[in-house]
Amino acid sequence: MPFTNFIQEIVIKNLTDLYSQQFSEKDFQINETKPEFEGDYTVVLFALVKTLKKSPEILGNELGTHLLKSYPDFFFGYNVIKGFLNLEITENQLTLFLQKNYNKDSFGKKPSNHKKVMVEYSSPNTNKPLHLGHLRNNFLGWSIAEILKANGYDVIKTSIVNDRGIHICKSMIAWQMFAEGATPELTHEKGDHLVGDYYVKFNDEYKKEVGQLIQAGKPKEEAEKEAPIMKKTQQMLLGWEQGNPEVRALWEKMNSWVYKGFDETYKRIGSDFDHTFYESNTYLLGKDFVQEGLQKNILFKKEDGSVWVDLSDKGLDEKLVLRGDGTSVYITQDIGLAKQKFNEYNLDKSIYVIGDEQLYHMKVLKEICRKLGMPFADDIFHLSYGMVELTTGKMKSREGTVVDADDLVDEMIATAEKHTEELGKVKDFTQEELKDLYDTLGLGAMKFYLLRVDPKKRMIFNPEESIDFHGFTGPFVQYTYARIQSILKKVESEHLAIDHIQLTRNTLLPLERQLIILLEKYVNAVADAATEMNPSIIANYVFNLAKLFNSFYAEHSVANAENDQKKELRVTLSVMTATVIKNGLQLLGIKVPDRM
RNA sequence: GGCCCCGUAGCUCAGUGGAUAGAGCAACAGCCUUCUAAGCUGUGGGUCACACGUUCGAAUCGUGUCGGGGUCACCA
């Protein structure tokens, strides 16, 4: 059990012993002691003062004395300053913790809790390549999946590919009109980029046609409706829905190009899925619930035959769930798919990693499911994340201000190569090893950069900052890991049996003590990251750990420690720091290099 | 306009009821014959948007104001 939780528990017990009153963990706080005070953990007494009618000083001293007496192995000393009871943990306890866990790969991982959760993320459209926003989504989804796994969940990663609709038809029409048979094989362009090019081409042509119509005297609205290319596209969508073989063949061909491109990108960035849903298979789902809802009077029909749900009692509006012509809208399919997910996979929780512009939509989905009496309604969780903006403003695909995912990955890896070459530390690496290293560092930098901020908040992507490999960055943490490997290599070559370290009593130096206490907090960081659905907690933790280790490293030598006991202690400390960095970064999808 | 989110150092962000508000970047000053300087140490830099309230205690909770963003489609 983590120290904080343990202290919480025994303080409750001690308070009952002393004052015959029951307290819960909400009645007081256990904090880390601020560095300017003596101690490791602090019990904040103010909240207890009132109920116990004792002064903070008396309460602190009574509690402190009692804690010390009942747990002499755990507490070494205490002091009371104002309303704060600062507790010092025994060196024995700290070294015991280190000894038990330093070599445990499973440190921070919980056993199965037999709960199943689905994480849906990435979910691209097939009319254009992935961009920076998708990267934040992918890294977030993948990381949350890993974090949940570490907390004992059985996780299924899914993606729903939006492979049908008017936007795909736009690319298809433009390709027919302008491509002259161009394929990824002929042009040597990645399939998703090729299809994306024709999506852009469509918009150019559309704008041109609308402009001409306006010039010919048509009102803007009419011109937008009547542009020939738009009409053709709508015709094509109709053809697709009716199953026109030519349209379907072209659709399948162009989508297959896109999938090949996506797969390449996913492979590079390390995204993967246990199952992929395609909207072309799911877009008809949900209609049966409309009938059911009508019978139960939860939904109502308007004169034109369209079906609606009234959510005004929940502060939301009326929402259409079925068009007058009987075709479904997006929310219809979402209801159907939500149910299918729970039924097919027997889920305890279903997480959707979707941008915060869809907060309203997801709220509506949940509310409709609730109204329809679906038992899983409350287990739908929208992990919403903020938009990625550029220093120059928002990304807009139509204005060509998007940062393409493939380009960005290339740039990050190239930056890793540049920095590595400048430093010249790995001249003996093979070509293969170098490539691996650049990938590890480039992707590490990018993932860390996008995951280090709270997902809920929108963030600004600063290109200069993103390629910085110093400070609060992935490579900084990776560097710390590599440094430790270097120490261990040296120590190993001295034939020290690091697998059989016997820690004996040492006098812990401040940095050694701080490191152990920080390492001990990893378990709580992993748990917090899961409850908050927030990988940035891990990123911050792992950075602080690396920073602290680097201070320790600069101050004290491991290989040339003052004596053998110190050496053993520090080797153990180094091994454990490396393990925690490795495990923590793994939760972010970031690899560690042995050398860099 | 209704609803939702955000406002902390020059910039990017931590900190959601506790002690004198912290990092990174940028700026400046130091540290490599000793385990990797992608590092370490130090200096300067804050009216936590503003006001009122709740509390022993507020960046954190409540109300209001100002500023920024999102959303309110028979689009996805």
Q: Are A301 and A183 in contact (CB under 8 A)?
A: no
Q: Is the CB of A486 under 7 A from strand B?
A: yes
**What's the pTM?**
0.95
Q: Are A449 and A473 in contact (CB under 8 A)?
A: yes
Six-digit token string for A348: 């305890």
Q: Are A483 and A477 in contact (CB under 8 A)?
A: no
Six-digit token string for A555: 């101050």
Q: What is the pLDDT of residues A227-275, one digit of tens each?
A: 999 999 999 999 999 999 999 999 999 999 999 999 999 999 999 999 9
Q: Is the CB of A425 under 7 A from strand B?
A: yes
d(CA A46, CA A27): 10
Q: Are A136 and A403 in contact (CB under 8 A)?
A: no
Q: Nearest nt (C1') to A475 (CA)?
A: B38
Q: Is the CB of A278 under 7 A from strand B?
A: no
Task: Supply the DSSP string of A175-195, one letter for each residue.
Answer: HHHH-TT--HHHHT--HHHHH
Nearest residue to nucleotide B13, by CA–C1' distance, is A453
Name the residues in A116-135 having a C-beta closer than 7 Å to nucleic acid strand B: 125
Query: Does residue A205 sit in helix, strand or coil?
Result: helix
Burial of A550 from C-beta contacts in 10 A (0-12 / 13-18 / 19+): middle
Instruction: Name the E strands within A99-227.
Output: 115-120, 153-161
Q: What is the pLDDT of residues A288-334, one digit of tens each?
A: 888 889 988 889 998 888 999 998 888 788 899 999 888 888 999 99
| Measured CA A418 to C1' B69 distance, in angstroms | 37
Q: What is the ipTM of this complex?
A: 0.96
Q: Is the CB of A282 under 7 A from strand B?
A: no
Residue A26, pLDDT > 90, answer no
Arithmetic mean of pLDDT, A396-422: 88
CA A55, A56, A58, A63 dihedral sign is positive
Q: What is the pLDDT of residues A427-480, one digit of tens each?
A: 999 999 999 999 999 999 999 999 999 999 999 999 889 999 999 999 999 999
**pLDDT tier at A498 (50, 70, 90 boundaries)?**
low
Residue A400 pLDDT: 65
Q: Nearest nt (C1') to A558 (CA)?
A: B35
| Measured CA A462 to C1' B7 distance, in angstroms | 20
Q: Nearest nt (C1') to A423 (CA)?
A: B38
Query: Does residue A117 sit in helix, strand or coil?
Result: strand
Burial of A555 from C-beta contacts in 10 A (0-12 / 13-18 / 19+): exposed
Query: Does residue A376 sit in helix, strand or coil?
Result: coil
Average pLDDT, chain A: 92
Closest CA to A141 of A168, A109, A119: A119
Domains along the sequence of chain A with CATH: 3-89 (3.30.1360.70), 116-278+334-391 (3.40.50.620), 287-327 (no CATH), 405-587 (1.10.730.10)
Query: Does residue A450 sit in helix, strand or coil?
Result: helix
Task: Supply the DSSP string of A395-409, one letter for each residue.
Answer: --GGGT---BHHHHH
Q: What is the pLDDT of residues A365-377, one digit of tens each?
A: 999 999 999 999 9
Q: Is the CB of A72 under 7 A from strand B?
A: no
Residue A394, pLDDT > 90, answer no
